[in-house]
Amino acid sequence: MELNEKLKTLVFDKSALKQNVFHTTKEVFEMFREETRELIALFKQKSRDEGQDVAFEFTDRGDFEFEVKFGGDILLFLMHTNVFEFSRDHQVMKSTYIREDPQRSYCGVIHIYNFLADSFAYQRDNDLGYMIGRVFVNKEKHYFIEGKRELGMLYTNFGTSLIDSESVQSIVESAIEYTTNFDLLTPPYDEVKVVSVGEMRTNFDKKSIVTAKRLGFRFQADSE
Does 153 or 43 have the greater pLDDT score?
43
Confidence of residue 210 (pLDDT cuts 50, 70, 90): low
Per-residue pLDDT at 24 exceeds 60? yes
Query: What is the total residue count of the chain?
Result: 224
pLDDT in tens, 140-191: 999 989 887 666 555 568 999 999 999 999 999 999 998 888 776 566 666 6
pLDDT in tens, 91-148: 889 899 999 999 999 999 999 999 988 888 888 777 778 888 999 999 999 998 988 7
Decide: 115 and 138 in contact? Cβ < 8 Å: no
Alpha-helix runs per DSSP H in 141-217: 165-181, 189-192, 197-203
Angstrom distance (rounded) from CA 1 to CA 87: 36
Other beta carbons less than 10 A from residue 78's beta carbon:
19
Mean pLDDT of the chain: 84
